[in-house]
Structure 1
């Protein structure tokens, strides 16, 4: 009887859930799926039938994917102790499913894995709430629809015993990279999963830490996307380049240190023609960007922890400003900017090289901000995060996958106590070599009135970080003047605080 039971129960057969289920099935796990929307289950079975050439049962063996009509039936069809994976919207639906599973007979040694985009603090609260009733575990998933189907990047966290049971499953379905080169090993063939290479799944730590790391991943993603868009904007508006020409530049950049999934897909978008108008597709897409909140969570967390992440915050602000299309249209008719002189063709190659280096240096700073945020949050929460391991699992499967991440992993391998990525010899040398072009690119964009908030904030972050004496001394004097907040002195122990009995400045008398 046990042999006929499924290995895994899966709740939620939407886009991500369906593809994770098929990924599990490709890797030899029998899955029983449930969804309140039965049409999704039918779609799942139809796709599974197509991908297995219609043979859902071969040689009398049970089918690799089954469906059911209730939580009770789900538990009855899955081996005990149960491993139940959820792919449902974050928030109340997660608790609703957990409670219904408990009502259906879930036991204390059964594992429930939340793979949604939950806020990390909610995961911590849930683990406490269900303690002694079930084992609540989380795994943040990155890679979108294709990643879920053929290999995502997985960031699991929670009970170590649960991880010992889940580890072989996640290692099987995760994206893989070549150990020697750090390059992704990709194969998009149903039924023929990638089994060789290093899996992009590693245990992050206690409950909540995995979703926190994924949150920071998404914050970095926001900034990376924004900076690519700023480079595009400069090439389009200042250099007068057509989308197809910019796509060619991005493809060239993708052969070097900027090689990444985001550069690759940006080139694809820019080279695509709209079928209705025969215009470049990018020209008919409304410039109003959406967001689902994870970038905002990262920016908020950076403020709460006291860790500067200005480029991530600027990327969130850029999306917010993009939504104010009506107001921007009015402002464009009223507010004056500089006249943009057409660039001579001979100067264009130089300007493109400057943009390349600006994007590369700013990218280093964005990752420095993200990893610094994880370091400070880990210290606050008592987590022991493996930053080299985190960089390794982002090399494939996830949205920010890039050759660049191998260098980050190497940096943390060289120095496990590295305080900030900018202090690594390799990255310090890279910025020293390329910062001239970075500064010229930001200056040219500013002179021409083209907004580059992420590229420029990264430069300001770098300059502030390398400045031994910042003007915060004046700021502390101001605070003491109006609020008696006290200050420390450079010639005395820092813990000693001082206050001056300031005299109010003379104010000029203004006649009427």
Structure 2
């Protein structure tokens, strides 16, 4: 009998199945397109002895130890609901069903509540690290019941990425907690990638450096406090040459970025929670603008492109980059804290930072410091107010200001860098400008306002 079943043998599902089998667990496997099963078993090689293929759903379910554990690696949304309709009649009380895709956490909460009525357990499992992570050690974010975690913990801790020997997986809370944390992870990923793209553009288009030289700079940065997976792969990809043209590979790639929606979800949920995700929103917007290449080409002919040189030093850029990355994480963790309060999840932000230290796309050297900061009592619970973080920002912010100013003067777009700077400057003002907005709202709509040092709702003298 198998200890876990995996339905869905696409890139991620097949990689996870091999990872689990390699760690000594028996895995039942199946796929909607049954013709995928035989090639997968051939690919498994020596691991095939621990993989048990089935073409029929009923046989797949029957092959599992009880209480059963079934991981679905299929597109979320309607396909997941359709599969639940098919498999639920075959399950027994105490069984656990897992959605390992990038799902809307509202759907996960709904499904968990529906299955709980039948004494079944539904888990939303965020899996980060791509195909390589799934095969050799992902970072995993689980939302589900204690019962589900007890079933899954031996398997997930065995296959997870490790940082200093510690598995990068945790139960973060009930129902949609895991999928929400994965969504925000992806939002931070969007912003970090956009910051890297903006810095690259300043060096390529503003300083006219060749890609290989920029790659060497990123490789040097990856040896210090900016060390991260995204910096590492950026350094590597910039060294490649297109075999067809001999040009740098990056120069022949169309400048139109795709997206699957999780960054946009992060922004939407942040707004619902009354939070700022300005750097993530900037990254989502930049991807949207990038898809309008014909419009941008026409606009360049009419309006002119960025023509100003950029001559800030690599040292200044590195400090600006470090500040921007810290601000990106700070915004992301604010969203997590707000959602934890709104949904009663009790998210442990230090634990989240720690399980992101290996296996996932946004892993970076900063996460140790961030985890340590959340282990302490932060002023107002704000990461940017942690003493060590605040000191780093104080040192790096002048560089971020300089880079943003240089970019603006040269006509180079830096939406994420400038959004981070604006947010930081807004948060450090004890007395801002929203009083004029409140006065306007009262004058045109009699909405009222709070008055300094006095309780209650008040109106201005314009209504006397």
TM-score class, shorter-chain normalisation, is: over 0.9
Q: CA deviation at 1:474?
A: 0.8
Aligned-partner SS, 2:126: strand
C-alpha distance in structure 2 between counterparts of 1:43 and 1:475, whole Å: 63
**Which residue is 1:192 aligned to?**
none
For residues 416 and 76 of structure 1, do their structure 2 counterparts lie closer, same or farther at Cα, with a shift above 3 Å needed?
Answer: farther
Aligned-partner SS, 2:457: coil
2:452 matched to 1:490?
Answer: yes
> How far does the alpha carbon of each residue in 1:343-398 deviate from its partner, in whole angstroms, 9 at most, with x for none?
6xxxx5x5221111111101111111110111111111111010000000000000
Q: Is the 8 A contact 1:251 1:263 kept in 2?
A: yes
**Which residue is 2:150 aligned to?**
164
Q: CA deviation at 1:502?
A: 5.0
C-alpha distance in structure 1 between counterparts of 2:305 and 2:252, whole Å: 25
2:46 matched to 1:28?
Answer: no
Q: Is the 8 A contact 2:256 2:291 kept in 1?
A: yes
Q: Is the 8 A contact 2:379 2:385 kept in 1?
A: no
For residues 416 and 160 of structure 1, do their structure 2 counterparts lie closer, same or farther at Cα, with a shift above 3 Å needed?
Answer: farther
Q: Which runs of 5 or more structure 2 residues have no equivalent in the other structure? A: none
C-alpha distance in structure 1 between counterparts of 2:380 and 2:132, whole Å: 34
> How far does the alpha carbon of each residue in 1:253-291 deviate from its partner, in whole angstroms, 9 at most, with x for none?
001111000001111111111111111111110001110
Q: Which runs of 4+ in 1 moved over 4 A?
A: none
**Which residue is 1:124 aligned to?**
109
Aligned-partner SS, 1:202: strand
Q: CA deviation at 1:206?
A: 1.0
Q: Is the 8 A contact 1:139 1:157 kept in 2?
A: yes
2:338 matched to 1:376?
Answer: yes
Report 1:64-75 matches (<5 A): 64-75=50-61
Q: Give the TM-score normalised by structure 1.
A: 0.88
> How far does the alpha carbon of each residue in 1:163-221 deviate from its partner, in whole angstroms, 9 at most, with x for none?
1111111101100011xxxxxxxxxxxxxxxxxx1000011001001111111100000
Q: Is the 8 A contact 1:338 1:447 kept in 2?
A: no
C-alpha distance in structure 2 between counterparts of 1:465 and 1:490, whole Å: 19
- Give the counterpart of 2:424 among 459, 462, 471: 462
Q: Is the 8 A contact 1:235 1:352 kept in 2?
A: no
> How far does the alpha carbon of each residue in 1:222-262 deviate from its partner, in whole angstroms, 9 at most, with x for none?
00000000000000111110000000000000011110000
**Which residue is 1:282 aligned to?**
250
> How far does the alpha carbon of each residue in 1:87-117 deviate from its partner, in whole angstroms, 9 at most, with x for none?
01001111222221123x2112111111111
Q: CA deviation at 1:131?
A: 2.0
C-alpha distance in structure 1 between counterparts of 2:361 and 2:316, whole Å: 25
Q: CA deviation at 1:438?
A: 1.2
Report 1:135-150 matches (<5 A): 135-150=121-136
- Give the counterpart of 2:181 among 190, 203, 213: 213
> How far does the alpha carbon of each residue in 1:413-432 deviate from its partner, in whole angstroms, 9 at most, with x for none?
12277611100000100011
Report 1:423-462 matches (<5 A): 423-462=385-424
**Which residue is 2:43 aligned to?**
47
**Which residue is 2:79 aligned to?**
93
Q: CA deviation at 1:338?
A: 6.4
**Which residue is 1:395 aligned to?**
357
2:70 matched to 1:84?
Answer: yes
Q: Which runs of 5 or more structure 1 residues have no equivalent in the other structure? A: 57-62, 179-196, 504-512
Please tell me whether Structure 1 or Structure 2 has the larger radius of gyration of its CA atoms: 1
> How far does the alpha carbon of each residue in 1:23-48 deviate from its partner, in whole angstroms, 9 at most, with x for none?
00011101010101123212321111
> Which has the larger helix fraction?
2
**Which residue is 1:328 aligned to?**
296
Q: CA deviation at 1:159?
A: 1.2
C-alpha distance in structure 2 between counterparts of 1:249 and 1:21, whole Å: 38
**Which residue is 1:177 aligned to?**
163
Aligned-partner SS, 1:436: helix
C-alpha distance in structure 2 between counterparts of 1:456 and 1:89, whole Å: 35
**Which residue is 1:37 aligned to?**
33
C-alpha distance in structure 2 between counterparts of 1:413 and 1:68, whole Å: 47
Report 1:277-316 matches (<5 A): 277-316=245-284
- Give the counterpart of 1:151 among 137, 143, 153: 137
C-alpha distance in structure 1 between counterparts of 2:335 and 2:38, whole Å: 43
Report 1:246-261 matches (<5 A): 246-261=214-229
Q: Give the TM-score normalised by structure 2.
A: 0.97
Q: Is the 8 A contact 2:378 2:385 kept in 1?
A: no
C-alpha distance in structure 1 between counterparts of 2:323 and 2:79, whole Å: 41
- Give the counterpart of 1:362 among 317, 324, 329: 324
Q: Is the 8 A contact 1:222 1:295 kept in 2?
A: yes
Which stretch has the larger CA shift, 16-25 or 409-418? Answer: 409-418
- Give the counterpart of 1:421 among 383, 391, 395: 383
- Aligned residues: CA RMSD: 1.5
Q: Is the 8 A contact 2:255 2:290 kept in 1?
A: yes
